[in-house]
Amino acid sequence: MRIVQSPPSSRSNERGTLTKESKPKFTHFASKAVHSGTNHVGDAVNTPIFQSSTYKLTDERYAGWAAGAHHALLYTRITSVNAEAVIDKICALEGAEDGEVFSSGMAAISSTLMAILSTGDHVVASADVYGGTYGLMTEEFPRFGIEVTMADMTDVSSYEAAIQENTKVLYIETLTNPVLKVCDVEAMATLAKKHGLVCIIDNTFASPWACNPLSLGADLVIHSTTKYLGGHSDIIGGAVVGSKEHIENIFHRKVHFGGSADPNSCFLLERGMRTLHVRMPQICDNAAELAKRLDAHPMIERVNHPSLSSHPQYAVAQRIMPRGTGMIGFVVKGGDDAALSFMRGLEMIYEATSLGGVESLVECPFNSSHMMIPEDVRHAAGMVPGYVRMSIGIEDIEDLWADIERGFASV
Ligand SMILES: Cc1ncc(COP(=O)(O)O)c(C=O)c1O
């Protein structure tokens, strides 16, 4: 466990200084989710909110600063008691050496990519990455002279064919958003190693409960902690984990670009992560059952969920993330108008963008999360007219199904 910079006298905590006690090593996911990283300030059972923008400079803190400031409690843009707690917990859940947390998933993605890429470099990604990531790569990167080639995440040979002499990064997502294609992370990581590239994966849609990409060979794992990790639709946050060397580099970009996470949202994130392993089984069971029922519904053209044997990458999903995901995609017969009518007939499932919370949400990507992606690119990526994305929560399955039937009745 990392010891956050604190005065030597900190074990007598009358002054509210940090007392991060040494803990037994937790070997199982559930115990890591509950206990890893907790900062027992003032002997608190949970990490209290440490709402301070700065810290009194002691000899030890000056030494931490001189040593590069990484993980040193100096100033909250650098880190905070609450940020350190969540970094430790995410590292424990992903099996990572080190990590950084950010003010949003996009801050994590942009800081990570900008830490590794410079003018003249090239990235291989896929057109069906998260819309914000697509925007970053297609609208911002060209301004900095960074090239991107969009290949097919489900076809390793298409990524290999796109590799150039100046390629630095292979960028993938465990499951694509919103069409839920499954990436063969192991094969992509092997390809990256073969060509000396950095394999970066956005694991938001799977969560560390369903998949640990570092164990499959990926170099850096990113999360929008806004989603499953936070789990309650009450924060915006991001994280990246990987080797100490990569994270040290990313840390400096975080400090320069300034997308640091604030203590309050870290507190909520830590609390959310403590129940990840309890929420995810219910979420994934609900989603698999709904996928089955939707698949048999006459008003549905197609269902995308990795638990269905009809999913094109079913075998890959069973290998890399057999526990599934709470995300479902499906095509309502009748196109976008029918999909909108369906959505607007729902009462319990809220029409809202985002995902991964305890409550179910629904959206049509064409007029929300993927609105900025050109129509032809959207269609080619599988977001055909009538496409609906649902994030399934922990409600009762029969109430969810009754709501979905209400939606169909209004088409
Ligand atoms: C897969 C994925 N990655 C990254 C992001 C960006 O995260 P944030 O909204 O926290 O910046 C999102 C947001 O929806 C997402 O779905």
Query: Residue 382 belongs to a domain with what CATH number?
Result: 3.90.1150.10
- Residue 207 Cα, ligand 1 centroid: separation in angstroms? 12
- Check which CATH number belongs to the domain holding 170 and give it: 3.40.640.10
Q: What is the pLDDT of residue 371?
A: 85
Look up tokens 């942009």; give the residue: 110
Task: Write down which residue in 251, 273, 295 finishes a domain.
Answer: 273
Radius of gyration (Cα) for the chain, nearest Å?
A: 22
Judgement on whether residues 146 and 252 belong to the same structural domain of the protein: yes
**Could you tell me which residues are beta bridge partners of residue 149?**
124
**Could you tell me which residues are beta bridge partners of residue 150?**
125
Task: Write down which residue in 273, 308, 337 finishes a domain.
Answer: 273
Q: Rounded mean pLDDT of 358-373?
A: 91
121 given a catalytic annotation: no
Number of domains in the chain: 2
Q: What is the pLDDT of residue 10?
A: 33
User: Does a structural domain hold residue 27?
Assistant: no
Residue ID of nearest Cα to ligand 1 atom 2: 130
Judgement on whether residues 299 and 335 belong to the same structural domain of the protein: yes
Task: Please give the DSSP secondary-structure letter assigned to residue 227.
Answer: T
Tokens representing 194 are 């073969």
In the chain, the largest separation of any two C-alpha atoms, in whole Å, equals 70
Task: Please give the DSSP secondary-structure letter assigned to residue 102.
Answer: E
User: Does a structural domain hold residue 368?
Assistant: yes
Pocket test of ligand 1: the residue of 177, 221, 355, 370 to mutate, having most ligand atoms within 8 Å of its CB, is 177
202 given a catalytic annotation: yes
Q: Which residues, other chains included, contact 283 with Cβ-Cβ below 8 Å and sequence gap of 6+?
A: 228, 326, 392, 393, 394
CA distances from 254 to 109, 269, 323, 344 (A): 11, 19, 33, 40
Q: What is the pLDDT of residue 13?
A: 32
**Could you tell me which residues are beta bridge partners of residue 225?**
none
Does the pLDDT value for residue 8 go beyond 50? no
132 lines ligand 1 (CB under 6 A): yes
Q: What is the pLDDT of residue 83?
A: 98
User: Does a structural domain hold residue 52?
Assistant: no
Q: Rounded mean pLDDT of 83-96?
A: 97
Task: Write down which residue in 253, 273, 293 finishes a domain.
Answer: 273
Q: What is the pLDDT of residue 179?
A: 92
Judgement on whether residues 88 and 204 belong to the same structural domain of the protein: yes
DSSP output for 327-338: EEEEEETTHHHH
User: Does a structural domain hold residue 54?
Assistant: no
CA distances from 385 to 75, 272, 348 (A): 49, 35, 24
CA distance 198 to 194: 10
Judgement on whether residues 219 and 331 belong to the same structural domain of the protein: no
Judgement on whether residues 249 and 281 belong to the same structural domain of the protein: no
Q: What is the pLDDT of residue 69?
A: 87
CA distance 175 to 376: 21
Pocket test of ligand 1: the residue of 224, 354, 355, 370 to mutate, having most ligand atoms within 8 Å of its CB, is 224
Q: Give the model confidence (pLDDT) of 146-181 as tens digits.
A: 999 999 999 999 999 999 999 999 999 999 988 999
pLDDT band for position 17 (cuts 50, 70, 90): very low
Judgement on whether residues 96 and 165 belong to the same structural domain of the protein: yes
Q: What is the pLDDT of residue 142?
A: 98
Residue ID of nearest Cα to ligand 1 atom 9: 105
Judgement on whether residues 194 and 292 belong to the same structural domain of the protein: no
Give the residue numbers spanning the domain of 336: 276-409
Judgement on whether residues 187 and 301 belong to the same structural domain of the protein: no
Judgement on whether residues 252 and 395 belong to the same structural domain of the protein: no
CA distance 49 to 51: 6
Residues 225 and 208: beta-carbon distance below 8 Å = no
356 lines ligand 1 (CB under 6 A): no
- Residue 16 Cα, ligand 1 centroid: separation in angstroms? 35
Relative to the CA of 353, which ligand 1 atom is closest?
14
Judgement on whether residues 264 and 370 belong to the same structural domain of the protein: no
Judgement on whether residues 120 and 221 belong to the same structural domain of the protein: yes
Q: Which residues, other chains included, contact 237 with Cβ-Cβ below 8 Å and sequence gap of 6+?
A: 101, 102, 103, 104, 105, 224, 225, 226, 229, 230, 261, 265, 266, 269
Q: What is the pLDDT of residue 370?
A: 83
User: Does a structural domain hold residue 24?
Assistant: no
Does the pLDDT value for residue 5 go beyond 80? no
User: Does a structural domain hold residue 313?
Assistant: yes
Q: What is the pLDDT of residue 146?
A: 98
pTM of the complete model: 0.93
User: Does a structural domain hold residue 1?
Assistant: no
User: Does a structural domain hold residue 70?
Assistant: no
177 lines ligand 1 (CB under 6 A): yes
Q: Rounded mean pLDDT of 371-378?
A: 85
Judgement on whether residues 250 and 311 belong to the same structural domain of the protein: no
Active-site residue identified among 89, 168, 227, 254: 227
Q: What is the pLDDT of residue 24?
A: 59
